[in-house]
């Protein structure tokens, strides 16, 4: 009798290990995906580097960019990364409401960032400096815009995540997804640091 | 203002689409009708035999890599037939179109056909066969019950299918790209290619490419994380190593393709200037980017075929693979080198001597690991006991053809020699020799080798032999003249040439070669039919007809959905070969198994992508938004579903397993 | 005996096939293998040399393959020894890592030097001053401008023999590749960019050239004739073209620029000053800022 229950115990433990391995596999897979996204951004950075001086008589970064404005954008995104981290910490502590609140704050900051970016785009386009103006502007809009698109996807994901946590609470599955969402969000933050440095900072410095 | 920019392109409800885009000339119309007849005929047949429910349950919604693999291969074979139809038109045109005769096709139609031929053969035939065989074999060889991400895998297949569908729709409505299989700008820009052709090319590759990327992620993770206990990396079958190399290339190369195609699409659709002539665009940046993907792509296709040859060499020589460690190192040398050679595709751009020389030398260095592999296969056969069956024939033909093609490759890696051979028919002969022998022959060998594992009977050997000889003779007749034509100054993609050049006889020989290849294909189709006919006779195969070495041969045929009722115990290479030496009887207890439930959502996501692609091609923006919404909806809906697996209890597994073995015994 | 008959038939078919091919090949012109100028000649020698080195590996592969397949096939009664577990030999594997590496090393050195020596931008050293020709690929024809002789021609380029010809090339159309196989290898022509190429001819003759890069519907018609002639013939040809041809004014160029294929040979006198530079410049700077009056990129 006892040996049978012992066997069942062992089997259950095995299944738990299997579950755990499965979660690990998913996280590992997500890292691999992030690597492909890295290559994607690297290609876009490369095109930007090639085209950065091809202004074809149009404006260069130095005349276009306003560093204080971009700094505000950067701060809102960096802060959102921080609050996203707090959401993860709350989730690990199994605090459902707190997690949701931090995610809502993160969402709001992300939305702020996106609005700032779009209004900057709008300003340039109104001035006649759209992606049609020159190779440089094509590369600028596409690189920064692709990051913005990723942010939008991240926001959509976060919205779904908030509903998901609200409905199902914090369990193994939601925990795994929260972890991946936060990886994604931090990744976008890192990409933005590169954009800020290479596109805006270098662009504004090089006359 | 931003809205205004976009709204100029919004236009009417149907965008650029109108009935005038239906085919007019007889050849295209015939092709379009034939093509439309395939799905319509299939649909009628399914309705007539009342098989829709079966199709939906067993195939359209399946998450089982074995079934997905078979679907990949079926799509690839059908697309191969279309690619072959393109070949027939190309060879006929070039055999006739000399002097005052302008052949059967207009220049633009001819150029569409060569573009379609290249695109289809690489993306939908070679990639399809590759992913098909990987899906079928990799989980079995590493002793896994499933891939790491079954849903992702199924979605990848359906995206591949959607891309395939889109490229075929281009034959029915609109036109196809007439800019070669890689669509160099500025020719592929709106200014020089104003119709929908290039857009079809972009979006069908974009969608299929994202599918490939998903599959790549899945298989890298599968091989790294799902190997059975005891199978360390250096104990993996070599096919799995080659797939790991190939899929690593996929995850690094395909994002570059995604970016490149997107940028070209942006140029054509919203008026950016990445690759335009003027406005600060840089056309050579496109050529760099596309080859930064394109060269690794060649190795993505070739490496798994190398893996198949390694399996075939060992099994059909009844001997251990020679130089396993060397083989692994060679694979990784090729993987790394393949990323630093892309510039050899355009030495003639006028880069400096040092740049050209560097890329040329890197290219030549690839010949070293490739040569090592050739010698190792030869020495696997040496001191073996050669079971002369068709897979081994393909291997032998491959060694000969690949060596000749490889020599041509090293020649062209020397920049000044390349100046004389670049874009000539010599180049065309070279890469067909590499890809047909290095990829297609390999997949033929693989299909013949693994066929009985899945269907329970072997393929007819005699017809296979006929197919082999027809293919080989036809192939040499079709491509050796092209080497000479290259020396004679004939460039690729010519729809017409002067009669005074003396090229016509060689083009005629090449066309005769294609007749032999068609005979080979007919023998292959016959082989399939006859083998099904004879399946219960001498072709009937047990679970291990070739005296196999790797784990897939330990399984019963047909393979149960969970692959392994009890996970195998592995402690050496060639695990099954070693196990057969001992009389081990597995009496371990059965355990419950989790199996992914069927889901139609992969299909839904891909359908959304197809609608999106079609709509963007024709500038029907509302439909594009709708298609995208369908895909996103499918994704979110899937994420809400927590119950994606069902459980087979230990008792059920035991019952199913013992029933199978009783069937084998009886 | 039946097997012997089969092999005999195959052998006869092969022999007759090779004979026919041999007769055919001896009667046609194979430009890459029959170079007529110093550049193409060096490229041809390189081709032969590298092929010879590669045969050092390829021939053993073929011989070994034939031997192994004959010796170890299962149904061979004189089959060699079967050693199913032999899977590794440090010595042998070392051999085929090292020998190909050495050969590739040799080829690499040759390749590196050749890449410099045969850089298309590298002048051909002779006592004679090079003749400058500016080549423009158009939809779908070749325009050759002689800036110093003040003439131009379409789909025909003429130059004196044994004199270096210095081409400057660009495109006012999609990308093309300039190829005159009997005299030199290719170089791309790209809008908004300039490439260069030196070549020379050792003999009097007419050579066929073409574009090697797909550039649209009329691409197959982008064939041109290169005439290598005596210095005197060349000079009188220049004079004739100068006096008997239409002027290549800007408006004439605009007409010429329109797509057309299989265009017959045409001569022009007095090409507009700075035409070649303007063709490049119109892709480099916006409309109105280009010097002269070419205008900017159309559409």
Q: pLDDT tens, B191-237?
A: 999 999 999 999 999 999 999 999 999 999 999 999 999 999 999 99
Chain A residue with the nearest C-alpha to that of C289: A57
Bridge pairing between strands C176-180 and C205-211: antiparallel
**A131 domain-assigned:** yes
B56 vs B599: CA distance, rounded Å: 10
Positive or negative CA dihedral for B246, B250, B256, B261?
positive
**A13 domain-assigned:** no
C58–chain B Cβ distance below 8 A for any pair: yes
Mean pLDDT to the nearest integer, A177-202 = 96
Mean pLDDT to the nearest integer, B3-30 = 73
Greater model confidence, B644 or B329: B329
Domain boundaries, chain C: 5-75+89-116, 131-293
Taking the whole predicted model, whether its pTM rises above 0.80 is answered as yes
- pLDDT exceeding 90 applies to what percent of chain A? 83
**A118 domain-assigned:** yes
Q: pLDDT tens, B402-413?
A: 999 999 999 999
Interface subset of A 120-149, CB within 8 angstroms of B: 121-122, 125-126, 130-136, 138-139, 141-142
Beta-carbon separation of B280 and A21 below 8 A: no
List CB contacts (< 8 A) between A132 and chain B: 5, 270-273
Closest CB from C187, C218, C297 relative to B350: C187
pLDDT at C231: 96
pLDDT at B356: 96
Beta-carbon separation of A56 and C289 below 8 A: no
Domain encompassing residue A77: 22-205
Beta-carbon separation of B224 and A36 below 8 A: no
B5–chain A Cβ distance below 8 A for any pair: yes
Q: pLDDT tens, B542-598?
A: 889 999 999 999 999 889 999 999 999 899 999 999 998 887 778 889 999 999 999
Mean pLDDT to the nearest integer, A132-137 = 95
Contacts of B631 (CB under 8 A, 6+ apart): B604, B605, B608, B609, B612
On average, the pLDDT of chain B sits at: 94
Q: pLDDT tens, B103-140?
A: 999 999 999 999 999 999 999 999 999 999 999 999 99
Is the CB of residue C104 less than 8 Å from the CB of residue C57? no
C204–chain B Cβ distance below 8 A for any pair: no
Measuring CA to CA, which residue among B350, B371, A61, B416 is closest to residue C35? B416
pLDDT at C296: 44
Residue by residue, DSSP assigns B5-19 as: HHHTTT-STTTT--G
Beta-carbon separation of A160 and B639 below 8 A: yes
Per-residue pLDDT for B259 more than 50? Answer: yes
Beta-carbon separation of B272 and A131 below 8 A: yes
Select the residue from C88, C124, C278 to test the B interface by mutation, using most B Cβ atoms within 10 A: C88
pLDDT at C260: 95
Positive or negative CA dihedral for C47, C49, C51, C54?
negative
B501 vs B99: CA distance, rounded Å: 10
- Count of pairs with CB atoms under 8 A, one residue in A, one in C: 5
- C214-245 per-residue burial string, b: 16 or more CB within 10 A, e: under 16: bbbbbbbbbbbbbbbbeeeebeebbeebbeeb
Mean pLDDT to the nearest integer, B619-634 = 96
Per-residue pLDDT for C125 more than 90? Answer: no
List CB contacts (< 8 A) between A141 and chain B: 272
Beta-carbon separation of B385 and C93 below 8 A: no
Contacts of B419 (CB under 8 A, 6+ apart): B347, B348, C43, C118, C120, C184, C185, C186, C187
Per-residue pLDDT for B10 more than 80? Answer: no
Per-residue pLDDT for C292 more than 80? Answer: no
- The whole-angstrom distance between A39's CA and the closest CA on chain B is 6
Closest CB from C58, C112, C214 relative to B493: C214
User: Crossing angle of helices B238-269/B197-225, nearest 10°?
Assistant: 150
List CB contacts (< 8 A) between B276 and chain A: 135
Beta-carbon separation of B399 and C61 below 8 A: yes
- Determine the CATH number of domain C131-293: 2.60.40.420
Beta-carbon separation of C190 and B324 below 8 A: no
| E strand intervals along B9-81 | none
Interface subset of B 165-224, CB within 8 angstroms of A: 213, 217-218, 220-221, 224
- The whole-angstrom distance between C286's CA and the closest CA on chain A is 6
Measuring CA to CA, which residue among C142, C144, C133, C138 is closest to residue C224? C142
C294–chain B Cβ distance below 8 A for any pair: no
- The confidence band for A17, taking pLDDT boundaries of 50, 70 and 90, is low
pLDDT at C299: 34
Residue by residue, DSSP assigns B435-468 as: HIIIIIIHHHHHHHHHHHHHHSBPPPHHHHHHHH
Chain B residue with the nearest C-alpha to that of A11: B591
The pair of structure tokens assigned to B75 is 């799509």
Q: pLDDT tens, A50-95?
A: 999 999 989 999 999 999 999 999 999 999 999 999 999 999 999 9
**A59 domain-assigned:** yes
- The whole-angstrom distance between B382's CA and the closest CA on chain C is 6
A131 vs B274: CA distance, rounded Å: 10
User: Looking at the 3D structure of chain A, how many domains does it have?
Assistant: 1
Per-residue pLDDT for A2 more than 50? Answer: no
Q: 3-class SS at B492? A: coil
Beta-carbon separation of B489 and C179 below 8 A: yes
List CB contacts (< 8 A) between B488 and chain C: 28-32
**A12 domain-assigned:** no
pLDDT at B586: 80
- Binding partners of A (≥3 Cβ pairs within 8 A): B, C
B271–chain A Cβ distance below 8 A for any pair: yes
List CB contacts (< 8 A) between C285 and chain A: 56-57
List CB contacts (< 8 A) between A56 and chain C: 285-286
Closest CB from A43, A136, A139 relative to B256: A43
List CB contacts (< 8 A) between A11 and chain B: 591-592
Mean pLDDT to the nearest integer, B48-72 = 95
Interface subset of B 576-595, CB within 8 angstroms of A: 589, 591-592
Select the residue from C104, C167, C195, C259 to test the B interface by mutation, using most B Cβ atoms within 10 A: C104
Instruction: Output DSSP code: residue B552.
Output: G
Q: 3-class SS at C191? A: coil
Per-residue pLDDT for C177 more than 90? Answer: yes
Q: pLDDT tens, A113-124?
A: 999 999 999 999
B14-28, B250-264, C216-230: least confidently modelled range: B14-28
Chain C residue with the nearest C-alpha to that of B325: C88
Per-residue pLDDT for A9 more than 80? Answer: no
- The confidence band for A1, taking pLDDT boundaries of 50, 70 and 90, is very low
- Count of pairs with CB atoms under 8 A, one residue in B, one in C: 282
**A57 domain-assigned:** yes
pLDDT at B666: 52
CATH of the domain at A109: 1.20.120.80
C243–chain B Cβ distance below 8 A for any pair: no
Chain C residues with at least one Cβ partner in A under 8 Å: 285-286, 289
B632–chain A Cβ distance below 8 A for any pair: yes
- Binding partners of C (≥3 Cβ pairs within 8 A): A, B
- The confidence band for C2, taking pLDDT boundaries of 50, 70 and 90, is low
- Count of pairs with CB atoms under 8 A, one residue in A, one in B: 126
Per-residue pLDDT for A14 more than 70? Answer: no
B206 vs B617: CA distance, rounded Å: 12
**A79 domain-assigned:** yes
List CB contacts (< 8 A) between C25 and chain B: 484
A25–chain B Cβ distance below 8 A for any pair: yes
List the C223-229 sheet strands across, edge first.
C156-160, C223-229, C205-211, C176-180, C184-189
- The whole-angstrom distance between A146's CA and the closest CA on chain C is 28
pLDDT at C293: 45
């Amino acid at each position: 009798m006892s040996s049978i229950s012992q066997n069942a115990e062992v089997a259950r433990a095995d299944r738990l290990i299997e579950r755990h391995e499965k979660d690990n596999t998913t996280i590992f897979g997500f890292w691999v995906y992030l690597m492909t996204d890295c290559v994607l951004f690297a290609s876009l950075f490369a095109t930007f580097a090639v085209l950065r001086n091809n202004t074809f008589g149009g404006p260069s970064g130095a005349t276009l960019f306003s560093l204080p404005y971009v700094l505000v954008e950067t701060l809102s995104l960096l802060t959102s990364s921080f609050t996203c981290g707090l959401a993860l910490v709350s989730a690990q502590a199994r605090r459902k409401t707190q997690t949701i609140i931090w995610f809502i704050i993160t969402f709001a900051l992300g939305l702020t960032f996106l609005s700032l970016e779009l209004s900057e785009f709008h300003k340039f386009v109104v001035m006649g400096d759209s992606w049609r103006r020159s190779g440089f502007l094509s590369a600028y809009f596409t690189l920064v815009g692709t990051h913005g698109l990723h942010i939008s996807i991240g926001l959509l994901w976060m919205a779904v995540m908030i509903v998901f946590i609200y409905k199902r609470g914090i369990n193994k599955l939601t925990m795994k997804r929260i972890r991946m969402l936060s990886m994604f969000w931090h990744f976008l933050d890192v990409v933005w640091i590169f954009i800020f440095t290479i596109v805006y900072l270098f662009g504004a410095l090089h006359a | 203002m931003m809205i205004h920019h976009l709204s100029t392109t919004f236009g009417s409800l149907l965008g650029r689409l109108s009935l005038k885009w239906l085919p007019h000339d007889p050849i295209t119309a015939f092709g379009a009708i034939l093509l439309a007849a395939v799905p319509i005929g299939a649909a009628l047949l399914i309705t007539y035999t009342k098989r829709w429910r079966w199709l939906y349950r067993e195939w359209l919604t399946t998450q089982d890599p074995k079934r997905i693999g078979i679907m990949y291969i079926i799509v690839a074979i059908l697309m191969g037939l279309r690619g072959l139809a393109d070949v027939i038109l190309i060879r006929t045109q070039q055999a006739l179109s000399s002097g005052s005769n302008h052949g059967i096709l207009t220049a633009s139609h001819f150029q569409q056909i060569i573009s379609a031929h290249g695109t289809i053969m690489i993306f939908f035939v070679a990639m399809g066969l590759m992913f098909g065989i990987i899906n079928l074999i990799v989980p079995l060889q590493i002793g896994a019950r499933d891939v790491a991400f079954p849903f992702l895998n199924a979605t990848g297949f359906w995206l591949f299918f959607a891309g395939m569908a889109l490229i075929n729709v281009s034959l029915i409505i609109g036109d196809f790209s007439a800019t070669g299989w890689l669509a160099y700008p500025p020719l592929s820009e709106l200014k020089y290619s104003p119709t929908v052709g290039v857009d079809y090319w972009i979006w069908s590759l974009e969608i299929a490419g994202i599918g490939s990327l998903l599959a790549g992620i899945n298989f890298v993770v599968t091989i790294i994380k799902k190997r059975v206990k005891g199978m360390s990396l250096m104990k993996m079958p070599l096919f799995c190593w080659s797939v790991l190399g190939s899929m690593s290339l996929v995850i690094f190369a395909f994002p570059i393709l995604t970016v490149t195609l997107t940028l070209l699409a942006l140029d054509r659709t919203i008026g950016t200037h990445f690759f335009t002539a003027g406005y600060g665009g840089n056309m050579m940046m496109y050529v760099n980017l596309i080859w930064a993907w394109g060269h690794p792509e060649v190795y993505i296709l070739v490496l798994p075929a190398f893996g198949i040859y390694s399996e075939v060499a060992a099994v059909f020589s009844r001997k251990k693979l020679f130089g396993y460690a060397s083989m692994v190192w060679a694979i990784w040398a090729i993987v790394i080198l393949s990323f630093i050679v892309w510039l050899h595709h355009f030495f003639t751009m006028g880069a400096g001597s040092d740049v050209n020389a560097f890329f040329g030398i890197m290219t030549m260095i690839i010949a070293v690991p490739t040569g090592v592999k050739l010698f190792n296969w030869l020495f696997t056969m040496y001191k073996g006991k050669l079971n002369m069956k068709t897979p081994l024939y393909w291997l032998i033909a491959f060694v000969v053809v690949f060596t000749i093609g490889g020599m041509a490759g090293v020649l062209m890696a020397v920049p000044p020699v390349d100046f004389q051979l670049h874009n000539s028919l010599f180049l065309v002969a070279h890469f067909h020799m590499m890809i047909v022998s290095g990829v297609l022959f390999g997949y033929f060998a693989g299909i013949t080798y693994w066929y009985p594992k899945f269907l329970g009977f072997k393929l007819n050997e005699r017809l296979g032999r006929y197919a082999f000889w027809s293919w080989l003779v036809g192939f040499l007749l079709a491509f050796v003249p092209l080497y000479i034509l290259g020396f004679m100054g004939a460039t690729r993609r010519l729809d017409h040439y002067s009669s005074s050049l003396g090229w016509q006889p060689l083009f005629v020989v090449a066309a005769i070669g294609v007749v032999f290849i068609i005979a080979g294909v007919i023998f292959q189709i016959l082989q399939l039919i006859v083998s099904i006919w004879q399946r219960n006779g001498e072709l009937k195969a047990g679970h291990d007809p070739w005296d196999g070495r790797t784990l897939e041969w330990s399984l019963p045929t047909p393979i149960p959905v969970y692959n392994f009722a009890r996970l195998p115990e592995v402690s050496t290479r060639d695990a099954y070969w070693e196990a057969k030496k001992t009389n081990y009887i597995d009496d371990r207890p059965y355990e419950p198994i989790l199996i992914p439930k069927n889901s139609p959502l992969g299909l839904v996501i891909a359908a959304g992508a197809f609608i999106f692609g079609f709509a963007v091609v024709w500038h029907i923006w509302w439909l594009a938004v709708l298609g995208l919404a369908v895909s996103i909806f499918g994704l979110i809906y899937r994420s809400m579903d927590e119950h994606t697996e069902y459980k087979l209890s230990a008792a059920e597994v035991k019952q199913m397993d013992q029933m199978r073995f009783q069937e084998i015994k009886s | 005996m039946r097997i012997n008959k089969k092999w005999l038939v195959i052998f006869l078919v092969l022999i007759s096939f090779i004979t026919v091919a041999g007769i055919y090949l001896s009667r046609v012109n194979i430009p890459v293998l029959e170079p007529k100028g110093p550049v193409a000649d060096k490229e041809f020698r390189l081709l032969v040399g590298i092929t010879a080195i590669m045969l050092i590996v390829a021939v053993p592969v073929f011989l070994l393959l034939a031997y192994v397949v004959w010796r170890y096939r299962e149904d061979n009664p004189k089959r060699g020894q079967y050693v199913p577990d032999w899977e590794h030999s440090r010595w042998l594997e070392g051999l085929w890592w090292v020998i190909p590496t050495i050969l590739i090393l040799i080829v690499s050195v040759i390749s590196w030097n050749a890449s410099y020596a045969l850089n298309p931008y590298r002048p051909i050293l002779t006592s004679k001053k090079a003749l400058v020709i500016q080549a423009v690929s158009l939809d779908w024809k070749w325009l050759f401008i002689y800036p110093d002789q003040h003439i131009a021609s379409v789909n025909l380029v003429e130059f004196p023999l044994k004199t270096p010809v210095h081409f400057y090339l660009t495109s006012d159309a999609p990308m093309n590749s300039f190829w005159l196989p009997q005299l030199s290898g290719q170089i791309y022509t790209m809008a908004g960019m300039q490439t260069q190429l030196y070549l020379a001819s050792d003999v009097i003759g007419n050579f066929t050239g073409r574009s090697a890069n797909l550039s649209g519907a009329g691409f197959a018609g982008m064939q041109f004739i290169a005439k290598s002639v005596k210095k005197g013939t060349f000079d009188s040809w220049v004079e004739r073209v100068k006096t008997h041809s239409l002027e290549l004014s800007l408006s004439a160029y605009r007409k010429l620029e329109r797509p057309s294929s299989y265009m017959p040979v045409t001569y022009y006198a007095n090409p507009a000053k700075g035409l070649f530079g303007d063709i490049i410049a119109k892709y480099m700077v916006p409309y109105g800022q280009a010097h002269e009056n070419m205008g900017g990129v159309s559409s």
